[in-house]
Amino acid sequence: MEPKEPNDGSQEPGTASSEPESRSEVERSSEPESRSEVESPSEPVERSEVESPSEPLPDRTQDETPKGSQHNCLVDAALALLLVMGYVSPLVLAMYAAANGLLGRFTLFQALMWAAPFGVLAVVVWLYRDIRRRGRRMLPIAAEVLVLGILPAWGLVYNHTANASCVVTTCDAETEAFRPLAEPEVWSLLGLHLLVVLAYAVSRRRPAALHGAGEVLVHAMLLVGMVMQTLLAVQFGHWALFGVMFPPLFLPTLAPVLTVILYAAEGIQRLLRRGGEAKMRVLRRAPESVFREAPDQELLPVVPEVHWPLFAKALLSSPVLLGIYAVVHAAWLGRADGALRVFTRTCKYTLSQVPLEIIPQDCHYLCTVAARGHTWLVQPLRVGRRGGKPILVNRQLAVANAFEDLLHTRWPRFGRLARRVYDRVGLPVSRYLRPRWASDLVYLAMKPAEWCFYVALLLLDPDAPEARIDRMYR
């Protein structure tokens, strides 16, 4: 009987060889699965995050930011038109006046003057396209300087040169440009305007909330400015229509309306900012405990609303500021109604209270164009007679009068309507034709109307048009 060998922990050869094989099979079977889980292409985002955590993400903010104007296209077109009418057109008129006095008869200069309106229109189109392509940049500031500074100063010059008397002749009763703002009362109104402009500049320069009562004061001054400019717009009345029809000569009459738009836009934007800040203060959370740190949370965007308590304070403060202005004005002039006399001590305007005194006199109309313009341009043909008085007659005047005669002959009612429209629109312009260069400008502006009148005579006159033209002012 053979003795048993001691058990030293060793295994039988068959058993020992089978275990490693089984482990290797398990490892081999599990390795591909693990590698497939890591190298699986179904999760490319996790793999990129694991393999390249330090690579910075490309900054696309500059590429995504639009470079052009994001405002309404009509607003941009109005901005371009306002800037060209306020800055470029007066320069063109000044160059025309200077060159007209220096050059006299110069055919090339005349051709350039014919092309000037088309050049101004081309500048408007170019500026509009530039705004849409590259943005507004500093153009809003230029518009603010024009509306708040240049146009009021321009209007004060017109106001000072206008007729301060309310005594006119029959010829001038419908055409005379009277002073819309009484002097010297207008100078205190100018001081109030400068204070409001200062408040507007502070609001534009410091959009954040001001300390203490400064915020309420800025809003109250903007409301005072809106009230003052509204009164000016009402006082000017129909003259604002000439600002639309005859820019840039009457552009200052539109200054009150444009100023109200600026003040209202700035006040509303400032109230919306204060309303948004008030909402953010309400949504602000209490500080977390020092023993734990909460993850950062992003609040939803706040819908801006007007800060009504601030608006109420400004609305209640604005009458106080107007009262202070009235007291200072009364102390300066020695009259309790001194602040209102800047509007009431005038005639033929909306708020005027001085009656108009009319003196009878024989009248004539567009003869000033032919009489006061340069002869090389307006080209007077002969001396005619109207109302028993001699007048200079040129081709343009004869054609216009022949067209009116045709209307009165064939369509009397329409002819009377055309005469009334002319008296309301054309005659006020003739009152400013004292300088020769102004008469030249009106002559050039009326050339398209002259051509239209002549074409109408060719088509509608049953007789020879030239015979009718030749009969005028005989």
66 pLDDT band (50/70/90 cuts)?
Answer: low
425 pLDDT band (50/70/90 cuts)?
Answer: low
According to DSSP, residue 394 is labeled: E
On the question of pLDDT at 98 being above 70, the answer is: no
Q: What is the pLDDT of residue 281?
A: 72
Q: Which two tokens stand for residue 399?
A: 């054609």
Statement to judge: residues 335 and 412 lie in one domain: no
Q: Which of 348, 363, 378 is the last residue of a domain?
A: 363
Which residues are 178's β-sheet partners? 163
Q: What is the pLDDT of residue 444?
A: 79
Statement to judge: residues 377 and 321 lie in one domain: no
Strands 389-394 and 380-386: antiparallel
Statement to judge: residues 333 and 208 lie in one domain: yes
On the question of pLDDT at 64 being above 60, the answer is: no
212: Cβ contacts below 8 Å, ≥ 6 apart: none
Statement to judge: residues 148 and 130 lie in one domain: no
- The more confidently predicted of residues 165 and 150 is 150
Residue 390: its H or E element:
strand 389-394
- The more confidently predicted of residues 95 and 121 is 121
Q: What's the one-letter identity of residue 196?
A: V
On the question of pLDDT at 342 being above 90, the answer is: yes
- The more confidently predicted of residues 357 and 226 is 226
On the question of pLDDT at 418 being above 50, the answer is: yes
* 420 found inside a domain: yes
Cα–Cα distance for residue pair 67/70, rounded to 1 Å: 9
Statement to judge: residues 444 and 409 lie in one domain: yes
Residues 110-124, mean pLDDT to the nearest whole number: 71
- The more confidently predicted of residues 94 and 285 is 94
Residues 221-231, mean pLDDT to the nearest whole number: 96
41 pLDDT band (50/70/90 cuts)?
Answer: very low
Statement to judge: residues 187 and 329 lie in one domain: yes
Q: What is the pLDDT of residue 462?
A: 86
Residues 133-148, mean pLDDT to the nearest whole number: 92
Q: Return phi, psi of residue 393, to 5°.
A: -115, 130
Statement to judge: residues 202 and 324 lie in one domain: yes
* 47 found inside a domain: no
**Which residue in this structure is represented by tokens 């007291």?**
327
* 293 found inside a domain: no
Q: What is the pLDDT of residue 156?
A: 94
Statement to judge: residues 127 and 208 lie in one domain: no
Domain that holds residue 77: 69-137
Q: Return phi, psi of residue 266, to 5°.
A: -65, -40
- The more confidently predicted of residues 367 and 295 is 295
* 39 found inside a domain: no
Q: What is the pLDDT of residue 105?
A: 46
Task: For the chain, give the percent of residues with pLDDT over 70.
Answer: 68
- The more confidently predicted of residues 398 and 288 is 398
Q: Which two tokens stand for residue 218?
A: 């800025």
N- to C-terminal Cα separation, the chain? 168
Statement to judge: residues 356 and 216 lie in one domain: yes
* 338 found inside a domain: yes
Statement to judge: residues 269 and 147 lie in one domain: yes
* 207 found inside a domain: yes
On the question of pLDDT at 173 being above 90, the answer is: no
Q: What is the pLDDT of residue 378?
A: 75
Structural domain total, the chain: 3
* 40 found inside a domain: no
- The more confidently predicted of residues 276 and 32 is 276
Q: Return phi, psi of residue 206, to 5°.
A: -120, 85
Question: 270-305, pLDDT tens digit by residue?
Answer: 999 998 888 777 655 545 555 555 566 565 666 778
* 241 found inside a domain: yes
Statement to judge: residues 122 and 150 lie in one domain: no
Q: Which of 321, 344, 363 is the last residue of a domain?
A: 363
Q: What is the pLDDT of residue 110?
A: 53
Mean pLDDT of the chain: 77
Q: What is the pLDDT of residue 428?
A: 60
Give a three-class secondary structure readout of 124-180: HHHHHHHHHHHCCCCHHHHHHHHHHHHHHHHHHHHHHHCECCCEEECCCCCCCCECC
SS3 category, 26: helix
Q: What is the pLDDT of residue 99?
A: 59
Statement to judge: residues 91 and 206 lie in one domain: no
Q: Which of 137, 171, 194 is the last residue of a domain?
A: 137
